[in-house]
């Protein structure tokens, strides 16, 4: 397959390129050449800025394009217009954040947002892709994406924190639902699947206890469970104020999205333990976080506030 990747050197794009090269596909990256420009010497890189134009791709023909970095409808519209006649299939990486009501479990038929927000803009991007490619489009909606090279630093907090041991603040209740997908499983599926239309690309729900217990422990750790109510009363941001925690009651089902359709189309997800072990190894190898979202001093201060 001749595969064009818009982006391709950060997190999701990186996983897509890794999977494509491993499968023997001919890969071309289109990006500005600013992030890890020499990461894939075995792949072709075409330098350009999709926010302005895609002239550098004129006359090129590809079987599939994977759009890993489309956030603004106007920008995605330029890509669709430029590639509509030269690409067989458009795979757009969207988000479960498009769903209008996250207080109840969503499936692919659930209403989506129409507002100026991250989810609303992603939903409008989806419509742009559908308008241009129709049945030749796949709109992939992942939830929380985790794994090595995670720039958000949300999931890496937990393997790193459990490895440090001691008293560990854990948000919410042990049975609170969590729903993750390893970026490598997502990337592999995006490259291999022949699905079209809308697919929620999410892992099977687990619990917060299962997430924490999946992390390797080398020294004793004492779990201090702090309820969502106590965290909200303490003024903690309900959206990842503690990494991976969603305390907003309006998002009670954000981690219960239906992912059966993607599984019917070949999605296979690895054990959470494998992801946690690999993330810890990556975190240690890089020397720890660039910007820790919940450093030790912040955790200690919060424990004092809620004790």
**Residue 191: pLDDT band with limits 50, 70, 90:** very high
Backbone angles phi, psi at 274, to 5 degrees: -60, -45
pLDDT at residue 141 greater than cutoff 90: yes
Place 218 in a pLDDT band, splitting at 50, 70 and 90. Answer: confident
Given pLDDT bands bounded at 50, 70 and 90, which one contains residue 189? very high
pLDDT given for residue 206 in this prediction: 97
Pairing of strands 177-178, 206-207: antiparallel
The answer to whether 205 and 263 are in contact (CB under 8 A) is no
Report the chain's mean pLDDT, rounded to a whole number: 97
Instruction: Write b or e for each residue in 294-307: b if 16 or more Cβ atoms lie within 10 A of its Cβ, otherwise e.
Output: beeeebeebeeeee
The Cα 306–Cα 130 span in angstroms is: 48
In which band, very low, low, confident or very high, does the pLDDT at 153 lie, cut at 50, 70 and 90?
A: very high
* pTM exceeds 0.95: yes
Tell me the domains of the chain and their CATH numbers. 2-142 (3.40.50.720), 150-178+204-254+272-306 (no CATH)
pLDDT tens digits, residue range 33-86?
Answer: 989 999 999 999 999 999 999 999 999 999 999 999 999 999 999 999 999 999
| Strand-pair category, 87-93 with 137-142 | parallel
Helix (H) or strand (E) holding 182: strand 180-182
Rounded Cα gap, residues 74 and 248, in angstroms: 30
Predicted local confidence at residue 280, as pLDDT: 98
Query: In this model, does residue 178 exceed pLDDT 90?
Result: yes
Residue 188 CA to its chain's centroid (Å): 13
% of residues, the chain, pLDDT over 70: 100
Contact 20, 191 (CB under 8 A): yes
- Residue 266 pLDDT grade (very low, low, confident, very high; cuts 50, 70, 90): very high
Residue whose C-alpha is closest to residue 161's, from 211, 234, 203:
211
pLDDT at position 300? 97
Average pLDDT over residues 88-115: 98
- Rg (Cα) of the chain, in Å, rounded? 20
Task: Assess whether pLDDT exceeds 90 at residue 93.
Answer: yes
Q: Is the pLDDT assigned to residue 282 strictly greater than 90?
A: yes
What's the pLDDT band for 307 if we cut at 50, 70, 90? confident
What average pLDDT does range 154-164 have in this prediction? 97
Tokens of 291: 């910007």
The residue assigned the tokens 């075409």 is: 46
């Amino acid at each position: 397959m001749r595969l064009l990747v818009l982006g391709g050197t950060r997190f999701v794009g990186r996983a897509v390129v890794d999977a494509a090269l491993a499968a023997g596909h001919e890969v071309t990256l289109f990006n500005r050449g600013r992030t890890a420009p020499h990461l894939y010497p075995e792949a072709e890189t075409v330098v350009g800025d999709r926010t302005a134009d895609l002239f550098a791709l004129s006359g090129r023909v590809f079987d599939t394009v994977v759009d890993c970095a489309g956030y603004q409808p106007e920008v995605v519209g330029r890509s669709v217009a430029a590639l509509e006649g030269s690409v067989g299939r458009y795979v757009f990486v969207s988000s479960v954040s498009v769903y209008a009501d996250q207080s109840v479990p969503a499936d692919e038929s659930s209403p989506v947002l129409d507002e100026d927000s991250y989810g609303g803009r992603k939903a409008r991007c989806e419509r742009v892709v559908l308008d241009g490619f129709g049945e030749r489009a796949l709109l992939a909606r992942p939830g929380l994406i985790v794994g090595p090279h995670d720039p958000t630093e949300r999931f890496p907090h937990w393997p790193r924190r459990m490895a440090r041991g001691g008293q560990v603040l854990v948000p919410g209740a042990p049975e609170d639902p969590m729903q993750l997908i390893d970026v490598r499983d997502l990337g592999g599926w995006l490259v291999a699947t022949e699905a079209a239309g809308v697919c929620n690309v999410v892992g099977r729900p687990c619990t917060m206890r299962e997430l924490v217990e999946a992390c390797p422990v080398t020294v004793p750790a004492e779990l201090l469970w702090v309820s969502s109510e106590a965290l909200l009363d303490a003024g903690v941001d309900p959206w990842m104020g503690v990494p991976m925690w969603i305390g907003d009651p309006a998002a009670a089902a954000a981690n219960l999205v239906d992912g059966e359709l993607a599984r019917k189309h070949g999605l296979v997800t690895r054990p959470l333990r494998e992801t946690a072990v690999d993330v810890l190894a990556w975190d240690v190898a890089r020397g720890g976080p660039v910007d820790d979202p919940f450093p030790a001093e912040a955790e200690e201060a919060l424990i004092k506030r809620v004790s």
